Structure 1
Amino acid sequence: MYSNGDRTDYKKRIDWFTIALYLLLVVAGWFAICGASYDFDMSRLFAFGSRPMMQLLWIGLAVVIGFMVLLIETDIFESLAPVFYVAMLGLLALTIFIAPDIKGSHSWLVIGPLRLQPAEFAKVTTALFLAWKLSQSDFVLRGMKSYVYAFGIIFIPVLLILMQNETGSALVYVAFFLALYREGLTGIFLGIAFCAVLFFVTALKLQGDLWWGHTDAAEWSVVTMTSLIAILLVRLYTKERSRFYWLALGLTAIAYGVSIALSYFVPVNFLWTAYGLLVLLVVWVLVMAVRRYLLAYLLIAVFVLGSIGYLFSVDYVFNEVMQPHQQMRIKVALGIEEDLRGGGYNVDQSKIAIGSGGFLGKGFLKGTQTKLKYVPEQDTDFIFCTVGEEQGFVGSILLLITYATLIIRIVWLAERQTKVFSRVYGHSVAGILLFHLSINVGMVIGLVPVIGIPLPFFSYGGSSLWGFTLLIFILLRLDADRDPRKR
C-alpha cells in the first residue's frame, strides 16, 4: 500500500489531457446540434427549450457530474460494483413495464419534463461489475465455467434491453468482449463471431436469386467456407502435421475436378460435393477425437455441425424473428434493395448531405440539407451528416482523429493501471466508445445497417451524454488513485 499523503495528492495525477479531449468533443457536439437545429431563424435557435439550449443544460450537468465523480473515493466503485449492477438490472426490468411506448420501444423513463434511458447507464454498472468479477483473486478467465460467468454478466442486461425493444443499445454490449479478450479470452470466440456474421451476410446476399447451374450459390458458399475453416482449425489447434493440411486441400481439389468433369456430361449439383467432403471431414475428426482423446477435435466437429445448423436457421431468423423494418435496414445495407422512400431514405439523404459538404464544407449553419430537414434524426443518430455537410471532408477527418486520440489515450490509461479492476474497466470504456463510433459513423455512410445508437458526445440527449461522462470520469478517478510508485 502507499501512504495517505500519496492518496490525498491524487488530484495532481488527474489526466487533464483526457478531460481536454472530452470537453473538446462536447463543445464540438453542441455546435453540431446548433447546425442540425438551425432553420433560418437565429432567435429560435437559442430560445428556451430549443435543442441547443437543452443540450447546453445537459452539458453543464454532465460537467458537474464528471467533477463530482473525481471527488469520490475509488473504493466505493469497486466495493459497491455488485450492488450497482443488481440495482440497475432491477431498474431495467422495471422499465419494461412502466416506460411509455416511444417509437416502438419501452426504454425511456419519463419523470416530468425529464426523460432518462436506463440502458445508457447500465453500460457503466456492467463495466464496473465485470471489472470487479475479473479482479477477484479466485477468478481466472479460463475454462467453460468462467466463460459462462463472464458472458452471463454481459448478456443479462442485454436480454432486458432487448425486451424493451432496443436492439441498438443491446448490441453495444458486444464491446465488452474486447476487454475480456485483453484478460485472456481465447480468440476462438472472436473467430466464431466473425464466422457468424460472414455466414449470415453470405446466406442473405446470395439467397434464392443466384444459382450456379443446379447449385444454390448461398448454401454452397457457406458449406465450402465451413469446410475450409474446419481444415484450418485442425491445423492450428491439433497436433496434426502439415501433411494433413495439404492432403485435405488436395482431396477437395480432386473432388471438385471430378465434379466439374462430370458436369459436361450430366447435370451436377456441386452442393452434394461440398456436403460429401464435409461429412468425410466430420467423420475423420470424430474418429481422431476418440483415438487421440483430444477435446480440440470434438470442438471442431461441433463447430462444423453448428455452422450447418446456423445456416438453416438464417432464413427463419431473418423472416420470422426480425421485424420488417430491421429486415429492410439489413437489405439496404447489403445492397439487396434500395428502398429510397422507406428503409433506405435516411441513409440516402445522409450520404447526399455528407457528399454536398465537399472538401472544406459549406460552413457553420450553412448546410442546406440539414436546414431543410431532409435527414430524419439529424441531431441524434445521424448527426455525423451535419458535420460532413458543414465542415466537409477535412472537418470529418479531424473529428475522427480526435475520437481516435481519445480512445487510444483511454487504452493507454488502462494499460498503465496497477490493479486488474481498473485495467478491465478502462478497456471496457475504450471498447464501448470504439463500438459506438464505428457503428454510428458506419450507419450514417451506409456501411452497416441502421440500428440507432448515438454518436458519443455529439448526439442530442442527456442520458447518452451523462452515461459517457460517467464512463470516462470514473476511469480518470481510478487512474488518479493508482500507486504512483509503479509505472
Structure 2
Amino acid sequence: MVKRNKILLRNIDWRIVVIYMIMIFFGCMNLYSVSPEKAEKQLIWILLSFFFIFIIFLFKPIHYKHITPFFFLFTLFLLIGVFFFGKNVNGSKSWYVFGSISFQPSELAKISTSLMIAHIMSQENIENNNKALLHISIILVLPSFLILLQPDPGSSIVFSSFLLTLYREGLSISFILYFLFYILLFVVSINLSPWIVILLLFISFIFFFFLKKNISFLDLFFYIFLFISFSVFSFLSPFVFQKFFKQHHKDRINILFQNEFDRKYRDNVGYNLLYSKTAIGSGKFFGKGYQKGTVTKGKFVPEQHTDYIFCTVGEEWGFIGSIILIIFYLLFISRIYFLSERQKNIFGRIFGYSVGNILFIHLIINLGMVMGLFPTIGIVLPFFSYGGSSLWSFTVLLFIFIRIDASDQTSLI
C-alpha cells in the first residue's frame, strides 16, 4: 500500500500543481488589497480545499466512473430544488444558504456534467452517431437550461465550453460555427431592425451561390432551410430579449453597443465597467505597486473582489503583471490539454479536455467583461475571484483530473 502511494505521488504532474498553488496565493494577495477581511476568508477556503484534494486522492478513477450517473442526477435535483429552497441574490435564485454558509449548485453542475460527458463518450463515439449525439445534447441542455431559468446566464454560457470537447472527439466544426453564428445573429438582431438583418442574410446567401459551383438540389434545399431558420430567429430575438431578459441583463448587453459614459448607464449598470477600465488604464506599464492602487483603495468598483478582480491586477501590477498572469493561465490550460492528450484512458482524456475548456471559457469571458468586450454576466476568474463555491469547484475539477492522470501512467483503473 505504501509503495503504491509512493508511485502515485511520483506520477503526479507537479508542474501543474505548482502553477495552481502560485495562482491561488497570488489571487489571495490581490484580494487582500481589495478587502483584508475577504482575503482572510479566502485563505480559510484555500486551506479547506486541501482537504478536498486529500479526499479526491482516496478514490480510484474507476470509482468516479461508477458514481458519475448518480452524481449527475443528484446535481439536477439540487438545481431544481434551488427554485423552491434557494435564496435570491442579485436577481438570481441560484444559491442555497445555510446560516453564514452559501452554496451555488451550478458550480457542482460543472463537475458532474464534465464527468457525465466523459462517462458517455468513453462508451459511445459521437462521430456519425446521432444517438450518442442526442444523449450528449440532453446531458448538456438539462443543467444549462435549469441554470438559465434561475436566471444565471453567465453560468449557463459556461456549458458552451463542452462544444470544444465534442469537437476534439469528432463533432463537426459546422455545429460550433452555427452556434456562434446564432449568438452573433441574436446580438445583431436586438440592435438592428430584423428586416435589415434579413436583407444582409439574403445578400450573403446570394453572394455565396455565385461563389459555389455545382450546387445540388439537396444543397439548395438545405441553404433555403438555413435562410428561413435564420430569418425566423432574427424576428424572434427582439421579442425574446424584451420578454424574458431582466432589465439589468438588457442594460449589460446594450452597454456594449453604446457607452459606459452615457448618462443612462454611467451611474448604474455602466459604473463597474467605467471604473474597471479606469483602474486597468491607470496601472500603465509597470503598475502603481502592491496595495497602492487608488481605485482599488477607494473601493470604486463594487464587484472588484469577484467578477472584477482582474482590474486590481491591472492597476497594481500594470501591463507587465497582467500579461504575466495571462501567460500563467495559458500555460496552465495548455498543460491540462497536454496531459489530456496523452491519456491512455478515453474517460480521462475527455474529462481533461472538459476541465481545460471550462477554465478557458471562464478566462476569456472574465477578461472580456472587465475590458468591456463582453457583458457583465457573473463569470469569475478561476482560482482568483473571491468565493468558496467557485474555488472548491475548480479545485475539485482540476484534482480529479490530476488523480486520473497519475493513475493513467501505471494502470487503466
Do they superpose with TM above 0.5?
Answer: yes
Q: Residues of 1 paired with 2:163 and 2:268: CA distance?
A: 34
Q: Hey, what's the Cα distance between the residues in 1 that align with 2:385 and 2:27?
A: 7
1:158 corresponding residue in structure 2: 144
1:83 Cα deviation (Å)?
A: 1.0
Gap runs ≥5 in structure 2: none
- Which amino acid is 1:306 matched to? S
- Give the C-alpha shift of residue 201 in structure 1: 3.1
Deviations 1:210-246 (A, max 9, x none): xxxxxx64442233234445777xx4xxxx54xx6xx
Structure 1 equivalent of residue 225 of structure 2 = 302
Quote the offset at 1:207 in angstroms: 3.5
Aligned pair partner of 2:247 in 324, 329, 345: 324
Decide which of 306, 309, 320 is 1:383's aligned counterpart.
Answer: 309
CA RMSD of aligned residues (A): 2.2
Partner of 1:481, secondary structure, is helix
The alpha-carbon deviation at position 333 of structure 1 amounts to 1.3
- Counterpart in 2 of 1:343? 269
Query: 1:187 maps to what in 2?
Result: 173
| 1:119 paired residue number | 106
Q: How does 1:100-249 map to 2 (within 5 A)?
A: 100-136=87-123, 138-207=124-193, 217-228=196-207, 235=212, 241=214
Residue identity opposite 1:204 in structure 2: I
- The alpha-carbon distance between structure 1 residues 336 and 193, as it changes in their structure 2 partners (threshold 3 A), is farther
Q: Secondary structure at the match of 1:101?
A: strand
Partner Cα separation in structure 1 for residue 369 and residue 243 of structure 2: 24
Aligned mates of 2:54, 2:210 — CA distance in 1: 54
1:19 and 2:6 are equivalent in the alignment? no
Report how far residue 196 of structure 1 moved.
1.1
* 3-state secondary structure, aligned to 1:106: strand
- Give 1:139 deviation, angstroms: 4.6
Deviation for aligned residue 1:195? 1.6
1:313 matched to which residue of 2?
A: 236
Compute the displacement of 1:92 (Å). 1.3
**How far 1:308 sits from its partner (Å)?**
1.1
Do 2:11 and 2:409's aligned partners in 1 also have CA atoms closer than 8 Å?
no
Aligned length: 408
Displacement of 1:187 in angstroms is: 1.1
| SS of aligned partner of 1:108 | strand
Letter aligned with residue 390 of structure 1? E
In 2, the alpha carbon distance for the partners of 1:135 and 1:228 equals: 42
Q: Is the 8 A contact 1:226 1:307 kept in 2?
A: no
* Counterpart secondary structure, 1:388: helix
**Counterpart in the other structure of 1:292:** none
Q: Report if the CA contact (8 A) 1:222-1:311 is conserved.
A: no
Q: In the alignment, which of 99, 102, 114 is matched to residue 86 of structure 2?
A: 99
How far is the alpha carbon of 1:299 from its aligned partner?
3.4
Quick one: distance in 2 between partners of 1:173 and 1:224? 33
For the 8 Å contact 1:179–1:424, the answer to whether it is kept is: yes
Structure 1 residues 314 and 231: CA distance shift in structure 2, 3 A:
farther
Greater displacement, 297-306 / 358-367: 297-306
Could you give the per-residue CA deviations for residues 76-127 of structure 1, whole angstroms, max 9, x where no partner exists? 1111111111111111111121012222111111122211111111100100
The answer for the alignment partner of 1:250 in structure 2 is: none
Which secondary structure state, in structure 1, belongs to the residue aligned with residue 227 of structure 2?
helix
Deviation at 1:441, TM superposition (A): 0.7
Task: Say which SS state the counterpart of residue 102 (structure 2) adopts.
Answer: strand
1:50-65 to 2 correspondence within 5 Å?
50-65=37-52
Q: Larger Rg: 1 or 2?
A: 1
Aligned partners of 2:221, 2:117: CA distance in 1, in Å?
Answer: 30
CA contact (8 A) 1:109 1:116 kept: yes
Once residues 390 and 157 of structure 1 are traced to their aligned partners in structure 2, the CA distance between those partners, rounded to angstroms, is 38
User: How far off is 1:476 after superposition?
Assistant: 0.3
| Alignment match of 1:470 (pick from 385, 392, 396) | 396
TM-score normalised over the length of structure 2: 0.93
Residues 1:230 and 1:408: Cα distance change in structure 2 (over 3 Å):
farther
Query: Is the Cα–Cα contact under 8 Å of residues 198 and 231 in structure 2 kept in the other structure?
Result: no
- Residues 217 and 159 of structure 1, relative CA distance in 2, 3 Å threshold: closer
- For the residue of structure 2 that corresponds to 1:450, the secondary structure is coil
Distance in 2 between the 1:102 and 1:307 partners? 35
2-structure distance, mates of 1:301, 1:98 = 47
Residue of structure 2 equivalent to 1:271? none
Which of 366, 369, 373 aligns to 2:295? It is 369
Contact map agreement 2:158 2:361 (CA 8 A) in 1? yes
Distance in structure 1 (CA, Å) of the matches to 2:196 and 2:230: 16
Rounded Cα–Cα distance in structure 1 between residues aligned with 2:143 and 2:207:
36
Offset, 1:372: 0.9
- Structure 1 residues 353-372: Cα deviation after superposition (integer angstroms, max 9, x where no partner): 11111111111111111111
Give TM-score, length-normalised by structure 1: 0.79
The answer to whether 1:427 aligns with 2:353 is: yes
| 3-state secondary structure, aligned to 1:206 | coil
- Which residues in structure 2 correspond to 1:254-333 (within 5 Å)? 288-289=217-218, 297-333=220-256
Distance 1:67 1:7, change over 3 A: closer
**Residues 307 and 58 of structure 1: is their aligned pair in 2 closer, same or farther, counting only changes over 3 Å?**
same
State the percentage of identical aligned residues: 38
| AA in 1 matched with 2:199 | W
Q: Which runs of 5+ in 1 are unaligned?
A: 38-44, 209-215, 245-284, 290-295
CA distance 1:227–1:188, shift in 2 (3 Å): farther
- Are the equivalent residues in 1 in contact too, given 2:288–2:318 (CA < 8 A)? yes
List aligned pairs for 1:455-466, cutoff 5 A.
455-466=381-392
